[in-house]
Amino acid sequence: MKASYDYIIIGSGFGGSVSALRLAQKGYSVLVIEKGKWFNPEDFPKTNWNLKKWLWEPRARLFGFFKMTYLNHVTILSGVGVGGGSLTYANTLPVPKKEFFNSGSWASLYDWEEALKPHYQEAYRMLGAEVNPYLGPADEAIKDIAKDLGREQNFSPTKVAVHFGDPGKDVGDPYFNGQGPDRKGCTHCGACMTGCRFNAKNTLDKNYLYFAQKLGVEILAEREVYDVVPLDRGTGSTGYEVSFKCSTRRGKKESLIAGGVIFAGGVLGTVPLLLKLKAKGSLPNLSDMVGRNIRTNNESLLVVTSTERNEKDYTKGVAIGSILDVDENSHLEPVKYGQGSSFFRFLSMPFVHHKWLVFRLLGVVGIALTKPVRLFKTIFNPRYSESTVIMLFMQTLDSTLQLKRGSITQLKTAPESGSRPSGLIPEASNLAKALGNKIKAIPYANIADVLLGTPTTAHVLGGAVMGKNETEGVIDKENRVFGYENIMICDGAMISANPGVNPSLSITAISELAMSRIPDKESVLD
């Protein structure tokens, strides 16, 4: 490493990877600092029972790439590692509907839908997006639901960041005129979210980060930033001292100098760090809006495990191979894990939709009394993952939380606006029942969701949203942090409205737009 860089980027997910490549192309020296580890295809676990390779929980000496965070109003699923959430996400790349661009704190700042159109297309190109050509049994089950609802025309295969081609066959780079890394055709094993072991998934280390490194970008893995201090102790006009430590073992603390800093560690990386830096006085000018306008995409995750005796294998296909627009505000996607990945069975319990906990628990007892055989078969199914469809239900309807530093726990949440996020969404419950009736299954949910009525989300957003000024947001319409020079935020924390769909493509496109506004280094020097 050098002693100083033009930019230090904290995090290597969708926003951080975009920033690294585009800044390097503009002539800047760039260092990316990532808390997680490097992962090659052979490093990924075969199933999610291999907790050491799959789960990120440093306190238990687990250094995988999948993280579960339990908060008082929501359970959050996220990714850790070089490539961020791309390592464990389900590859889906939908463009949100019009409501996303015209709502939230950013709505009046710009014509976002028009401005982002070319950047969505560039994100598709860079991420190697293709329409899923194969519908597996889980997708066909949702297609049947669509027919029953009279919305078959609203069912479609997803656009995903996967190379299909000939299954299992090696091929030279199919995306960048042979300048990128080789790929292999998707085998439709459904194990996208436990890490693609077959080199078919277009994770960020195969596109944005790959080309960024070719241009001289350095990536420092297994390091966690704990302090960012302006050299002038003011607005940072002369740069910043960035301090970090090893995240996987004991090691000395280090510091480097950067002309600018880009926070790109995702909501659970960026927002807690900003709260800490504001509280300790490192960045006291940060807006009081830090931690506010946290959104969960109004999600519900329900697990439906079939007890039918047939040869259907619901793991076949990509992790999310199709999407159904249930109505103008709601979307349903069937999610799958690969064969043998049944770890979640011990984190879930039968789901009964009711406002009060006592009646939810009585409902579980009722299931045990009235359907004991089906319940037993569900819990002890030897083909659990092959028999399971995870229903991901998302809505554009808006509600927000505030993320705070806790006195007992590291983080806590508080309701902010709209209805409190809930795992008890009637539309999702009805769809789970409908699917359960079709495949002879009992709907399950995360234990915390059943006991607390909270949702589980893989798409937590906000906490450093855009606004007209520091009283309405943390960053301006160009992603620049109010109160400081040359600090930007490019990750899910910047998302300022509820997309109602998987947000990875939007994070990529907004980051592309933000980077396009930064001048070349030569013109700055001139």
As annotated, the active-site residues are: 459
Q: Which helix (H) or strand (E) holds 320?
A: none
**Residue 155, helix vs strand vs coil:** strand
Q: In angstroms, what CA-CA distances link 475 with 95, 167, 507?
A: 23, 44, 15
Instruction: Give the 3-state secondary structure of 396-454.
Output: CCCCEEEEEECCCCCEEEEEEECCCCCCCCHHHHHHHHHHHHHHCEEEEEEHHHHHHCC
Contact 336, 192 (CB under 8 A): no
CA 482 to chain centre: 25
Which residues neighbour 96 within 8 Å (Cβ) at sequence distance 6 or greater?
A: 396, 499, 500, 501, 506
3-state secondary structure of 51: helix
DSSP summary character for residue 46: S
User: What's the token pair of residue 17?
Assistant: 């990877």
Three-state secondary structure call for residue 522:
helix
Give yes or no for a contact between 499 and 100, defined as CB atoms under 8 angstroms apart.
yes
Between CA 420 and CA 285 the distance in angstroms is 30
Residues pairing with 295 in the sheet = 461
* Residues in the chain, overall count: 526
Kindly state the tokens that stand for 505.
């493509």
Residue 165 Ramachandran class (φ > 0 left, ψ -120 to 50 alpha, else beta): left
